[in-house]
Protein backbone atom coordinates (compact mmCIF):
# COMPACT_ATOMS: atom_id res chain seq x y z
CA UNK A 1 0.00 0.00 0.00
CA UNK A 2 1.18 3.53 -0.80
CA UNK A 3 0.44 6.10 1.86
CA UNK A 4 0.56 9.77 0.86
CA UNK A 5 -0.62 12.78 2.83
CA UNK A 6 -1.01 16.54 2.57
CA UNK A 7 -2.10 19.31 4.90
CA UNK A 8 -5.42 21.10 4.44
CA UNK A 9 -6.17 24.52 5.92
CA UNK A 10 -9.60 25.04 7.51
CA UNK A 11 -11.23 28.29 8.66
CA UNK A 12 -14.14 28.50 11.06
CA UNK A 13 -17.13 30.71 10.25
CA UNK A 14 -16.56 32.51 13.54
CA UNK A 15 -13.85 32.14 16.19
CA UNK A 16 -14.74 29.07 18.29
CA UNK A 17 -13.72 29.36 21.95
CA UNK A 18 -13.55 26.74 24.69
CA UNK A 19 -11.81 26.72 28.08
CA UNK A 20 -8.74 25.31 26.26
CA UNK A 21 -8.47 28.19 23.75
CA UNK A 22 -9.83 29.81 20.58
CA UNK A 23 -9.88 28.25 17.11
CA UNK A 24 -10.38 30.37 14.00
CA UNK A 25 -8.04 28.51 11.68
CA UNK A 26 -6.55 25.08 11.85
CA UNK A 27 -4.73 22.61 9.68
CA UNK A 28 -5.51 18.92 9.43
CA UNK A 29 -3.90 16.20 7.30
CA UNK A 30 -5.60 14.30 4.48
CA UNK A 31 -4.32 10.73 4.12
CA UNK A 32 -4.47 8.94 0.75
CA UNK A 33 -4.03 5.21 0.77
CA UNK A 34 -3.43 3.76 -2.71
CA UNK A 35 -3.70 0.05 -3.37
CA UNK A 36 -4.73 -2.04 -6.33
CA UNK A 37 -6.00 0.93 -8.36
CA UNK A 38 -8.22 2.41 -5.62
CA UNK A 39 -7.68 5.31 -3.22
CA UNK A 40 -8.99 5.36 0.37
CA UNK A 41 -9.12 8.72 2.16
CA UNK A 42 -8.94 9.66 5.83
CA UNK A 43 -8.32 12.80 7.87
CA UNK A 44 -5.86 13.26 10.73
CA UNK A 45 -6.91 15.85 13.32
CA UNK A 46 -4.02 16.11 15.78
CA UNK A 47 -4.78 17.61 19.17
CA UNK A 48 -2.37 19.44 21.46
CA UNK A 49 -4.54 18.16 24.34
CA UNK A 50 -3.03 14.74 23.69
CA UNK A 51 0.48 16.05 22.97
CA UNK A 52 0.06 15.70 19.21
CA UNK A 53 0.98 18.18 16.46
CA UNK A 54 0.92 18.20 12.66
CA UNK A 55 4.63 17.37 12.76
CA UNK A 56 4.31 14.46 15.21
CA UNK A 57 1.40 13.04 13.19
CA UNK A 58 3.31 13.37 9.91
CA UNK A 59 6.39 11.67 11.28
CA UNK A 60 4.16 8.80 12.52
CA UNK A 61 2.50 8.55 9.06
CA UNK A 62 5.91 8.30 7.37
CA UNK A 63 6.80 5.36 9.64
CA UNK A 64 3.39 3.71 9.22
CA UNK A 65 3.68 3.07 5.49
CA UNK A 66 6.07 0.17 6.09
CA UNK A 67 3.57 -1.42 8.49
CA UNK A 68 0.70 -1.74 6.00
CA UNK A 69 1.96 -4.77 4.08
CA UNK A 70 -0.93 -7.03 5.16
CA UNK A 71 -3.25 -5.09 2.81
CA UNK A 72 -6.44 -3.13 3.56
CA UNK A 73 -8.68 -6.17 4.07
CA UNK A 74 -6.62 -7.02 7.17
CA UNK A 75 -7.83 -3.72 8.67
CA UNK A 76 -8.28 -5.07 12.21
CA UNK A 77 -4.78 -6.57 12.32
CA UNK A 78 -3.20 -3.51 10.71
CA UNK A 79 -4.88 -1.02 13.06
CA UNK A 80 -4.03 -3.09 16.15
CA UNK A 81 -0.40 -3.05 15.06
CA UNK A 82 -0.49 0.73 14.52
CA UNK A 83 -2.17 1.35 17.91
CA UNK A 84 0.55 -0.66 19.64
CA UNK A 85 3.34 1.13 17.85
CA UNK A 86 1.86 4.66 17.88
CA UNK A 87 -0.14 4.69 21.10
CA UNK A 88 0.51 8.42 21.58
CA UNK A 89 -0.29 9.33 17.94
CA UNK A 90 -3.84 8.03 17.81
CA UNK A 91 -5.04 10.90 15.58
CA UNK A 92 -2.65 9.66 12.88
CA UNK A 93 -3.82 6.06 13.42
CA UNK A 94 -7.40 7.33 13.06
CA UNK A 95 -6.65 8.87 9.65
CA UNK A 96 -5.19 5.58 8.37
CA UNK A 97 -8.02 3.54 9.94
CA UNK A 98 -10.53 5.76 8.10
CA UNK A 99 -8.64 5.43 4.80
CA UNK A 100 -8.55 1.62 5.17
CA UNK A 101 -12.31 1.50 5.74
CA UNK A 102 -12.90 3.90 2.84
CA UNK A 103 -10.78 1.69 0.57
CA UNK A 104 -12.61 -1.53 1.60
CA UNK A 105 -16.02 0.11 1.13
CA UNK A 106 -15.02 1.32 -2.34
CA UNK A 107 -13.61 -2.09 -3.27
CA UNK A 108 -16.78 -3.90 -2.15
CA UNK A 109 -19.10 -1.11 -3.39
CA UNK A 110 -20.77 -0.64 -0.01
CA UNK A 111 -20.93 2.29 2.41
CA UNK A 112 -18.78 1.82 5.52
CA UNK A 113 -21.80 1.66 7.85
CA UNK A 114 -23.05 -1.36 5.83
CA UNK A 115 -19.62 -2.96 6.00
CA UNK A 116 -19.88 -2.69 9.79
CA UNK A 117 -23.39 -4.19 9.78
CA UNK A 118 -25.01 -0.96 10.98
CA UNK A 119 -28.13 1.01 10.16
CA UNK A 120 -27.90 4.03 7.86
CA UNK A 121 -26.80 6.96 10.01
CA UNK A 122 -29.66 9.42 10.16
CA UNK A 123 -29.37 11.26 13.40
CA UNK A 124 -29.84 14.58 15.03
CA UNK A 125 -26.66 16.28 16.11
CA UNK A 126 -26.51 18.83 18.87
CA UNK A 127 -25.07 22.18 17.85
CA UNK A 128 -22.18 23.57 19.87
CA UNK A 129 -21.97 27.18 20.99
CA UNK A 130 -18.51 28.31 22.06
CA UNK A 131 -17.67 30.73 24.86
CA UNK A 132 -18.93 34.14 23.70
CA UNK A 133 -20.20 37.54 24.80
CA UNK A 134 -23.96 37.76 25.63
CA UNK A 135 -24.91 39.43 22.31
CA UNK A 136 -23.06 36.74 20.36
CA UNK A 137 -24.67 33.96 22.43
CA UNK A 138 -28.11 35.38 21.63
CA UNK A 139 -27.29 35.48 17.92
CA UNK A 140 -25.80 31.96 17.83
CA UNK A 141 -28.77 30.46 19.67
CA UNK A 142 -31.17 32.27 17.34
CA UNK A 143 -29.29 30.92 14.30
CA UNK A 144 -29.14 27.37 15.69
CA UNK A 145 -32.85 27.27 16.47
CA UNK A 146 -33.75 28.85 13.10
CA UNK A 147 -31.68 26.09 11.42
CA UNK A 148 -33.77 23.50 13.27
CA UNK A 149 -31.32 22.13 15.85
CA UNK A 150 -33.21 20.53 18.75
CA UNK A 151 -30.32 20.09 21.21
CA UNK A 152 -27.63 22.60 22.12
CA UNK A 153 -24.21 22.11 23.62
CA UNK A 154 -22.71 25.11 25.35
CA UNK A 155 -19.11 25.61 26.35
CA UNK A 156 -18.83 26.78 29.96
CA UNK A 157 -16.01 27.49 32.39
CA UNK A 158 -16.05 31.28 32.90
CA UNK A 159 -17.68 33.68 35.36
CA UNK A 160 -20.27 34.51 32.68
CA UNK A 161 -21.74 30.97 32.60
CA UNK A 162 -24.92 31.73 34.56
CA UNK A 163 -25.66 34.73 32.37
CA UNK A 164 -25.07 32.59 29.26
CA UNK A 165 -27.37 29.82 30.49
CA UNK A 166 -30.08 32.31 31.46
CA UNK A 167 -29.97 33.84 27.96
CA UNK A 168 -30.32 30.40 26.37
CA UNK A 169 -33.13 29.25 28.66
CA UNK A 170 -35.13 32.42 27.85
CA UNK A 171 -35.63 31.08 24.32
CA UNK A 172 -34.83 27.35 24.41
CA UNK A 173 -36.47 24.67 26.52
CA UNK A 174 -34.91 21.57 24.92
CA UNK A 175 -31.95 19.36 25.85
CA UNK A 176 -28.99 21.43 26.99
CA UNK A 177 -25.50 19.92 27.21
CA UNK A 178 -22.77 21.79 29.08
CA UNK A 179 -19.08 21.19 28.37
CA UNK A 180 -16.58 22.62 30.85
CA UNK A 181 -13.47 21.16 29.14
CA UNK A 182 -11.67 20.56 32.51
CA UNK A 183 -12.30 24.14 33.71
CA UNK A 184 -13.09 23.57 37.38
CA UNK A 185 -11.51 22.19 40.53
CA UNK A 186 -13.65 19.50 42.20
CA UNK A 187 -14.94 22.01 44.81
CA UNK A 188 -15.81 24.65 42.22
CA UNK A 189 -17.49 22.01 40.04
CA UNK A 190 -19.72 20.98 42.93
CA UNK A 191 -20.69 24.61 43.50
CA UNK A 192 -21.32 25.28 39.78
CA UNK A 193 -23.48 22.19 39.34
CA UNK A 194 -25.67 23.18 42.31
CA UNK A 195 -26.05 26.68 40.87
CA UNK A 196 -26.74 25.41 37.36
CA UNK A 197 -29.46 22.97 38.48
CA UNK A 198 -32.15 25.59 37.72
CA UNK A 199 -31.14 25.54 34.04
CA UNK A 200 -31.94 21.78 33.86
CA UNK A 201 -28.84 20.59 31.97
CA UNK A 202 -29.13 17.09 30.49
CA UNK A 203 -25.39 16.45 30.59
CA UNK A 204 -22.30 18.11 32.04
CA UNK A 205 -19.18 17.06 30.20
CA UNK A 206 -15.71 16.93 31.77
CA UNK A 207 -16.26 19.39 34.64
CA UNK A 208 -12.85 18.74 36.21
CA UNK A 209 -9.27 18.29 35.03
CA UNK A 210 -8.26 14.86 33.71
CA UNK A 211 -6.31 13.76 36.79
CA UNK A 212 -9.28 14.65 39.05
CA UNK A 213 -11.51 11.98 37.50
CA UNK A 214 -12.32 10.43 40.90
CA UNK A 215 -14.17 13.65 41.82
CA UNK A 216 -16.61 12.90 39.00
CA UNK A 217 -18.37 10.30 41.18
CA UNK A 218 -19.49 12.98 43.66
CA UNK A 219 -20.75 15.18 40.82
CA UNK A 220 -22.72 12.34 39.30
CA UNK A 221 -24.36 11.58 42.68
CA UNK A 222 -25.66 15.17 42.88
CA UNK A 223 -28.24 14.18 40.27
CA UNK A 224 -28.20 17.59 38.57
CA UNK A 225 -27.17 16.14 35.22
CA UNK A 226 -25.53 13.08 33.72
CA UNK A 227 -21.76 13.40 34.00
CA UNK A 228 -19.82 12.44 30.89
CA UNK A 229 -16.04 12.09 30.70
CA UNK A 230 -14.33 13.43 27.57
CA UNK A 231 -10.71 14.47 28.13
CA UNK A 232 -10.41 11.77 30.87
CA UNK A 233 -11.39 9.06 28.38
CA UNK A 234 -9.03 8.39 25.49
CA UNK A 235 -8.44 4.63 25.43
CA UNK A 236 -10.53 1.50 26.18
CA UNK A 237 -8.78 1.06 29.56
CA UNK A 238 -10.00 4.53 30.59
CA UNK A 239 -13.59 3.27 30.40
CA UNK A 240 -12.82 0.54 32.94
CA UNK A 241 -11.17 3.12 35.21
CA UNK A 242 -14.09 5.55 34.88
CA UNK A 243 -16.83 2.96 35.40
CA UNK A 244 -18.71 3.85 38.59
CA UNK A 245 -17.43 7.43 38.50
CA UNK A 246 -19.33 8.80 35.48
CA UNK A 247 -22.60 8.12 33.69
CA UNK A 248 -21.05 7.98 30.26
CA UNK A 249 -18.12 8.71 27.97
CA UNK A 250 -17.53 10.93 24.96
CA UNK A 251 -15.82 8.80 22.32
CA UNK A 252 -14.04 10.65 19.50
CA UNK A 253 -12.41 8.69 16.71
CA UNK A 254 -9.58 11.24 16.41
CA UNK A 255 -8.89 10.80 20.12
CA UNK A 256 -9.03 7.00 20.37
CA UNK A 257 -7.55 5.96 17.02
CA UNK A 258 -10.46 5.37 14.65
CA UNK A 259 -13.37 3.07 13.90
CA UNK A 260 -11.86 -0.20 15.21
CA UNK A 261 -10.90 1.21 18.60
CA UNK A 262 -14.15 3.22 18.88
CA UNK A 263 -16.17 0.02 18.33
CA UNK A 264 -14.25 -1.67 21.16
CA UNK A 265 -14.90 1.33 23.43
CA UNK A 266 -18.59 1.52 22.57
CA UNK A 267 -18.95 -2.23 23.27
CA UNK A 268 -17.14 -1.89 26.58
CA UNK A 269 -19.19 1.13 27.68
CA UNK A 270 -22.43 -0.62 26.74
CA UNK A 271 -21.43 -3.81 28.57
CA UNK A 272 -20.79 -1.72 31.69
CA UNK A 273 -24.14 0.08 31.36
CA UNK A 274 -22.58 3.44 30.51
CA UNK A 275 -23.96 6.03 28.09
CA UNK A 276 -22.16 6.80 24.85
CA UNK A 277 -21.67 10.18 23.21
CA UNK A 278 -19.92 10.41 19.84
CA UNK A 279 -17.91 13.61 19.58
CA UNK A 280 -15.46 15.32 17.25
CA UNK A 281 -13.04 18.21 16.88
CA UNK A 282 -13.31 21.07 14.39
CA UNK A 283 -12.49 19.27 11.12
CA UNK A 284 -13.74 18.72 7.59
CA UNK A 285 -16.49 16.25 6.68
CA UNK A 286 -13.80 13.67 5.91
CA UNK A 287 -13.13 13.28 9.65
CA UNK A 288 -16.83 13.42 10.55
CA UNK A 289 -17.94 10.68 8.11
CA UNK A 290 -16.32 7.69 9.90
CA UNK A 291 -17.81 8.81 13.22
CA UNK A 292 -21.19 9.34 11.59
CA UNK A 293 -21.05 5.76 10.29
CA UNK A 294 -21.22 4.67 13.97
CA UNK A 295 -23.96 7.13 14.97
CA UNK A 296 -26.66 4.47 15.37
CA UNK A 297 -24.63 3.04 18.30
CA UNK A 298 -24.62 6.28 20.32
CA UNK A 299 -27.04 7.86 22.80
CA UNK A 300 -25.85 11.37 21.95
CA UNK A 301 -24.37 12.58 18.70
CA UNK A 302 -22.16 15.66 18.75
CA UNK A 303 -20.77 15.66 15.23
CA UNK A 304 -20.92 19.28 14.19
CA UNK A 305 -17.18 19.99 13.69
CA UNK A 306 -17.66 20.47 9.94
CA UNK A 307 -20.69 22.73 10.43
CA UNK A 308 -18.47 25.28 12.18
CA UNK A 309 -16.34 25.76 9.04
CA UNK A 310 -16.56 28.69 6.62
CA UNK A 311 -15.88 26.23 3.79
CA UNK A 312 -15.78 22.45 4.00
CA UNK A 313 -13.34 20.96 1.45
CA UNK A 314 -15.37 17.70 1.42
CA UNK A 315 -19.01 16.98 0.61
CA UNK A 316 -21.32 14.02 1.26
CA UNK A 317 -22.94 14.85 4.61
CA UNK A 318 -26.16 16.82 4.50
CA UNK A 319 -27.68 18.65 7.43
CA UNK A 320 -31.36 19.59 7.41
CA UNK A 321 -33.08 20.81 10.56
CA UNK A 322 -30.23 19.48 12.71
CA UNK A 323 -30.46 16.05 11.11
CA UNK A 324 -27.29 14.65 9.59
CA UNK A 325 -27.44 12.27 6.67
CA UNK A 326 -24.49 10.55 5.10
CA UNK A 327 -24.57 9.81 1.37
CA UNK A 328 -24.78 6.10 0.54
CA UNK A 329 -21.83 6.22 -1.83
CA UNK A 330 -19.36 3.35 -1.34
CA UNK A 331 -16.73 3.90 1.34
CA UNK A 332 -16.98 6.77 3.81
CA UNK A 333 -19.44 8.57 1.50
CA UNK A 334 -17.57 11.86 1.26
CA UNK A 335 -15.38 13.23 -1.54
CA UNK A 336 -13.38 16.39 -2.20
CA UNK A 337 -15.43 19.32 -3.50
CA UNK A 338 -12.73 20.22 -6.01
CA UNK A 339 -10.18 18.02 -7.74
CA UNK A 340 -6.74 18.18 -6.17
CA UNK A 341 -3.78 19.38 -8.17
CA UNK A 342 -1.79 16.33 -9.26
CA UNK A 343 1.90 16.40 -8.34
MG1 LIG B 1 -15.95 17.79 25.33
pLDDT for 66-91, tens place per residue? 999 999 999 999 999 999 999 999 99
Write out pLDDT tens, residues 319-338: 998 999 999 999 999 999 98
CA of 230 to the centre of ligand 1 (A): 5
**How far is the centre of ligand 1, averaged over its atoms, from the C-alpha of 16 (Å)?**
13
What is the 24 CA–ligand 1 centroid distance (Å)?
18
Question: How far away, in angstroms, is 335 Cα from ligand 1 center?
Answer: 27
Q: Which of 109, 138, 165 is the last residue of a domain?
A: 109
- Are both 127 and 269 inside the same structural domain? yes
CATH of the domain at 228: 3.20.20.120
Is the confidence at residue 119, as pLDDT, over 70?
yes
pLDDT at 253 over 80: yes
Out of 109, 135, 160, a domain closes at 109
Distance CA 316, CA 265 (A): 26
Q: Please calculate the CA angle 321-142-249 and round it to the nearest 5 degrees.
A: 65
The string of DSSP letters for 92-112 reads HHHHHHHHHHHHHHHHHTSBH
Tell me, yes or no, whether 142 and 157 share the same domain: yes
pLDDT (tens digit per residue) in 176-222: 999 999 999 999 999 999 999 999 999 999 999 999 999 999 999 99
For residue 74, is it within any domain?
yes
201 in the same domain as 70: no
Please enumerate in sequence order all residues whose Cβ is within 8 A of that of 304, keeping only pairs 6 or more positions apart, or say none. 125, 126, 127, 128, 280
Distance 181 CA to ligand 1 centre (A): 6
**Cα–Cα distance between 343 and 82 in angstroms, integer?**
28
Please identify, among 90, 109, 128, the residue that sits at the C-terminal boundary of a domain.
Answer: 109
Distance (Å, rounded) from C-alpha 191 to C-alpha 206? 15
Same structural domain for residues 226 and 317? yes
* 276 and 157 together in one domain: yes
pLDDT reading at 122 higher than 90: no
**Count of domains observed in the chain:** 2
Q: Is 59 part of any domain?
A: yes
Give yes or no: residues 136 and 226 share one domain. Answer: yes
96 and 175 inside one domain: no
> In terms of residue numbers, what domain contains 330?
115-336
Ligand 1 centroid – CA 278 distance (Å): 10
Write the pLDDT tens digit of every residue in 220-242. Answer: 999 999 999 999 999 999 999 99
Amino acid sequence: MKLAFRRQRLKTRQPFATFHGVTSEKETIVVELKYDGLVGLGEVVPSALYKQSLESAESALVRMEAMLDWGPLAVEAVVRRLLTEFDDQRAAVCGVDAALHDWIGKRLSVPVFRLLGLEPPQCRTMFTIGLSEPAAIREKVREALAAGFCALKVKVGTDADEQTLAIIREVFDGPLFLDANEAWSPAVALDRLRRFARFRPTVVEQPVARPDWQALAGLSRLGVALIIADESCQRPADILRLHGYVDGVNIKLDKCGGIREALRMIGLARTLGMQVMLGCFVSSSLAIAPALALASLADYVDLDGHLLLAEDPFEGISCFAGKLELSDRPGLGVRPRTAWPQP
